[in-house]
Amino acid sequence: MNTRAVVLLSGGLDSATTLAIAREAGHDCYCLSIDYGQRHRSELDAAARIAQALGAVAHKVIHIDLGAVGGSALTDDKIPVPVAGVQPGIPVTYVPARNTIMLALALAYAEVSGAQHIYFGANAVDYSGYPDCRPQYMRAFEALANLATKTAVEGRALQLHTPIIELSKADIIRRGVALGVDYAMTVSCYQADAAGRACGVCDSCRLRRTGFEQAGLPDPTAYK
Amino acid sequence: MNTRAVVLLSGGLDSATTLAIAREAGHDCYCLSIDYGQRHRSELDAAARIAQALGAVAHKVIHIDLGAVGGSALTDDKIPVPVAGVQPGIPVTYVPARNTIMLALALAYAEVSGAQHIYFGANAVDYSGYPDCRPQYMRAFEALANLATKTAVEGRALQLHTPIIELSKADIIRRGVALGVDYAMTVSCYQADAAGRACGVCDSCRLRRTGFEQAGLPDPTAYK
């Protein structure tokens, strides 16, 4: 059995939990963080600490200037991050084709590292407005991956795992705590400061805070 | 009718022809070049000249350090570019998941620029050893694209066009010449020098040279 897995690791709560799940499943984890010019760079520092704490075999960071493409509040300084809670429709924090780009890079890393598994902490509950967080999108990517690479041509199938895609934030937190994840290490805020402290008011902070409340667990997040 | 199209433009012969075909079809062309750390950087200079010469509306370059992923002779200095002609199997110049990465970035640019068309000069004849140059791969990406983005969610379908995928090099050249492409501007060589002059011996040079011969047209390539 091939035990190698590429794990997309942003440094946030969801991807840290996903890494813990991949490790629990017996995989050697090759973590991949994408620096796509996001405002919350402290997430990348968090990713490095989490990869080490959760026993990853390797941690790679790939830089890509998605700011050059524009169109999102997360990469374009001219678009403000919303703080007023959930708005109808697709949020301005949606980064065009972000998950497609991240999964494409994970696929490249999987091929180079000999991994037949990709773990991705996408969530269709919190991010219901993001088209590329839906399960049918994930199945379409897996189908593509199995046509795209040497690995596929050589008949070794590639599996895309999205173990938290249907979980509520509270259930993700419960799962991670059971697996020993230290959420004090993770950064979820869309506009965290250089030390990784959270704003407490953006959509991501709100979802995270509510998650700890609903899980009945203490919130270890450092707020500004 | 939506007339905007993103055209992936490498600066080589195939993508220049594809841009000419997209323009001929009546599209406003938003060209996208990916600087993925390839050795032949003079291709990017060529892309800028070609975009201008063929009347593109815009030309964007996105940088991504695929050298960090490794695994290809085109991005890893430790792997030599082969010069001995066609070898069996998948060539070492294959960049892992390269077309998936480039199409993902084209999809992001299409969404931001409001384009419902992506033109991609992939070729399944010359690059029969590359899994991500096959027509079935292209259909899978189009299916993914139509699940991935705001545009898709809003019911405006995205089309992936690969107009030269089944053409021989000679037929591509004949088509481009008929559309007024000046191939002296294009750089195909895997190891062109800073001025864009070709080595004449790598797989890409060999295919190009043979293409002009078989088309019965003069080869305007500048060789070292």
Candidates B158, B106, B150, B100; CA nearest to A94 is: B150
A77 lies in some domain: yes
For range A43-47, the mean pLDDT:
88
Look at residue B223 and tell me if it is in a domain: no
At residue A44, does pLDDT exceed 90? no
Q: Which of B30, B61, B64 to mutate to test the interface with A (most CBs of A within 10 A)?
A: B64
How much is the ipTM here? 0.87
Closest residue, chain B, to A132 (C-alpha): B148
DSSP assignment letter at A198: B
Q: Do A111 and B134 touch (CB under 8 A)?
A: no
Given CB atoms, is A64 within the 8 Å cutoff of chain B?
A: yes
Could A64 and B69 be called an inter-chain contact, meaning their C-beta atoms sit closer than 8 Å?
A: no
Evaluate whether residue B191 is within a structural domain.
Answer: yes
**How many cross-chain Cβ pairs, A to B, lie less than 8 Å apart?**
149
Minimal Cα distance from A101: which residue of B? B104
Phi and psi dihedrals of B70, rounded to 5? 75, -170
Select the residue of B69, B100, B134 nearest A62 (Cβ to Cβ): B69
Banded model confidence at residue A190, pLDDT cuts 50, 70, 90: confident
Q: Is the pLDDT of residue A128 over 80?
A: no
**Chain B nearest CA to A137, separation (Å):** 6
**Domain count of the fold of chain A:** 1
CB proximity list for A123: less than 8 A, separation 6 or greater: A14, A133, A164, A165, A167, A169, A172
Identify the CA nearest to A54 among candidates A82, A19, A2.
A19
Interface check for B104 against chain A (CB to CB < 8 A): the answer is yes
Whether pLDDT at A55 is above 80: yes
> Measured between CB atoms, which of A62, A99, A147 is closest to B136?
A147
Position A72 confidence tier, pLDDT thresholds 50, 70, 90: low
Residue at A174 is within a domain = yes
pLDDT of A39 > 50? The answer is yes
B57 domain-assigned: yes
Residue A201 domain flag = yes
- Which 141-160 residues of chain A touch chain B by CB within 8 A? 141, 143-145, 147-150, 152-153
Mutation site, B78, B107, B150, interface A, largest A CB count within 10 A: B150
For residues A138 and B20, give the distance between their C-alpha atoms in angstroms, rounded to a whole number. Answer: 34
Q: Is residue B128 part of a domain?
A: yes
CA distance A68 to B153: 24
* Minimum Cα–Cα distance from B106: chain A residue: A97
Q: Which two tokens stand for residue A220?
A: 């270890």
Burial code of A46-59, b = ≥16 C-beta within 10 A, e = fewer?
Answer: bbbbbbeebebeeb
Q: Does B222 reside within a domain?
A: no
Q: Is 80 exceeded by the pLDDT of residue A221?
A: yes
What domain range includes position B118?
4-215
Is the Cβ pair B60, A71 closer than 8 Å?
A: no
Q: Which one of A69, A72, A92, A136 would you mutate to disrupt binding with B, by most B Cβ within 10 Å of its Cβ?
A: A69
pLDDT > 90? residue A219: yes
Does A74 score more than 60 pLDDT? no
Yes or no, beta carbons of A131 and B149 under 8 Å apart: yes
Residue A132 touches chain B, beta carbons under 8 Å: yes
Question: What is the strand order of the sheet A159-161 is part of?
Answer: A58-63, A28-35, A4-8, A117-119, A159-161
The CATH number given to whatever domain includes residue B172 is 3.40.50.620
Contact B66/A at CB under 8 A: yes
pTM score, whole prediction? 0.88
Mean pLDDT of A155-177: 94
Residue B86's pLDDT is what?
Answer: 46
Judging contacts by C-beta atoms under 8 Å, the chain B residues touching residue A144 are 100, 137, 140-141, 143-144
DSSP annotation string for chain B: ---EEEEE--SSHHHHHHHHHHHHTTPEEEEEEEE-S-S-THHHHHHHHHHHHTT-SEEEEEEB-GGGT--STTT-TTSPPP-SS--SSS-TTPPTTHHHHHHHHHHHHHHHHT--EEE----TTTTTT-GGGSHHHHHHHHHHHHHHSHHHHTT---EEE-TTTT--HHHHHHHHHHTT--GGG----TT--TT--B-S-SHHHHHHHHHHHHHT----PPB-
Q: How far apart are CA B7 and CA B27, in angstroms?
A: 10
B96–A112 CB contact, under 8 Å: yes
Residue B77 burial (CB count, 10 A): 9
Return the higher-pLDDT residue of A23 and B156.
Answer: A23
Best probe of the A interface among B94, B105, B137, B154, by most A CBs < 10 A, is B105
Tens-binned pLDDT, residue by residue, of chain B (224 aa): 569 999 999 999 999 999 999 999 999 999 999 887 765 678 888 999 999 999 999 999 888 877 767 655 555 555 555 555 444 455 555 678 889 999 999 999 998 888 999 999 999 887 667 889 999 999 999 999 999 987 776 777 899 999 999 999 999 999 999 999 999 999 988 788 888 899 999 888 999 999 999 999 999 999 98
Residue B65 touches partner A, C-beta closer than 8 Å: yes
